[in-house]
Amino acid sequence: MRVKFWGVRGSTPIPEQGFLRYGGNTPCVEVQTSEKYKIIFDSGTGIRNLGDRLSSNYPDEPLELHIFFSHLHWDHTQGLPFFKPLFEKKNKVVLYGRRYENSKFYDKLKVLMGDIYFPVPFDHLPSQVEVVEINGDKITIGDTVVSSTHLSHPGECLGFRVEHNGKVFTYATDNEHPKEGVDPNLVEIAQDADLLVYDGQFTPEEYLDGHQGWGHSTYEEGVKVADAANVNKLVLFHHDPSHTDEFIDEYILAPAQKLRDNVLAAQDRLLLEL
């Protein structure tokens, strides 16, 4: 299993000096378990670069792409209209999102590419698009299994667990920790994971200073979850757009590494092999 980060920034893109080492693209993570299937988590601005690479590397070969949405906030969806494989007739693209009580996930995707936001309607995409609603379901893609659970975030959010050949990857961005202890749902999907990607947007001090209830967490809470779930490697993710490279080094990564071994801060184009 290979995990590549194409976007790691939360809230809004930040293409400026001082932010380029960690990167300014919003969330998109590619998990490679097979050459036949491509599995992607979220479609922030980082997905544009991923799409360009896929179109370049597979100019004639049909692709089967599986995109899982944690939720539909702008920073996790704003790259979708610029994902080149969507506009190639040869490709099949399966889009997964949570089941809503009063509306369909398909209809919400249509709004993202509605005529007031984008010139090409969702219904007119030339690729073979399939929309699948999930709610704790286990999805089998070849010999890979993807399961999901609900996280704590305004408007709700899904976390994902990927299992393949004895390796486990957990993607849990946009999650606010409970006041005490750790979220048992999160511990369950992260249990014995080789790699946990976790929302570390704020420092503990920032979180307490007016950011409670925003649906995000801290490196301290990420360490607690990783320890409780017996995670091997913890990757802090969804960096705040006000945090420079130096800030992340000094106030996010360094203190996290003092609490636990095998902690990284996610960077654009970072590739990890499990």
Q: Work out the percent of the chain whose per-residue pLDDT is above 70.
A: 100
**What is the residue-averaged pLDDT of the chain?**
96
- Is residue 124 within 8 A of residue 87, CB to CB? The reply is no
State the pLDDT at residue 40. Answer: 98
Closest CA to 145 of 234, 231, 39, 273: 39
Instruction: Check if the beta carbon of residue 185 is closer than 8 Å to that of residue 167.
Output: no
* Angle at the Cα of 243 from the Cα atoms of 155 and 175, rounded to 5 degrees: 25
254 with 271: CB under 8 angstroms? no
Q: Please determine, for residue 132, whether its predicted confidence score (pLDDT) is greater than 90.
A: yes
Q: How far apart are CA 166 and CA 218, in angstroms?
A: 29
| Greater model confidence, 121 or 265 | 265
- Model confidence at 114, in pLDDT bands (50, 70, 90)? confident
Summarised one tens digit per residue, pLDDT across range 53-88 is 999 999 999 999 999 999 999 999 999 999 999 999
Give whole-number Cα distances, 55 to 63, 82, 269, in Å. 9, 12, 17
pLDDT for residue 126 is more than 90:
yes
pLDDT surpasses 90 at 100: no
- Domain ranges for the chain: 2-273
Distance CA 87, CA 26 (A): 21
Task: Give the tens place of pLDDT for each residue, 138-184.
Answer: 999 999 999 999 999 988 899 999 999 999 999 999 999 999 999 99
Quote the CATH superfamily of domain 2-273.
Answer: Ribonuclease Z/Hydroxyacylglutathione hydrolase-like (3.60.15.10)
Lowest mean pLDDT among 37-46, 149-158, 226-235: 149-158
Average pLDDT of the segment spanning 228-241: 98
